[in-house]
Amino acid sequence: MMLTRLKESDNRVVGSKQTLKALKGERVEHLFIAKDAETRITDPLVELAKKSNVPIHYVDTMAELGEAAGIEVGAAAAAILKDQ
């Protein structure tokens, strides 16, 4: 599952601001979005990912995404970055 890949990745960003920055820099390989996050936060990320043909993976809760990303709080978004 892709969530496991996020958990095991050393090359990731967590949080909407860092994820947006990575998307703008065309460095995102896979985008993860929490379904329970506010759409005003996630919609711009999803829109940019679709324009850039980045695969989007939805996770049920922010808590689940935060845990998979290795943080102790919830996260609205996270991404696995392309190898540089």
Over 90: is that where the pLDDT of 65 sits?
Answer: yes
Mean pLDDT of 24-48: 98
- The residue-averaged pLDDT of 12-41 equals 97
Q: What is the pLDDT of residue 35?
A: 98
- 27 is written with which tokens? 């460095």
Position 43 pLDDT exceeds 90: yes
Q: Are 71 and 14 in contact (CB under 8 A)?
A: yes
The torsion angles phi and psi of 43, rounded to 5 degrees, stand at -55, -45
For residue 63, give the nearest of 44, 42, 36 by alpha carbon.
36
Domains of the chain and any CATH numbers:
2-81 (3.30.1330.30)
pLDDT at 4: 92
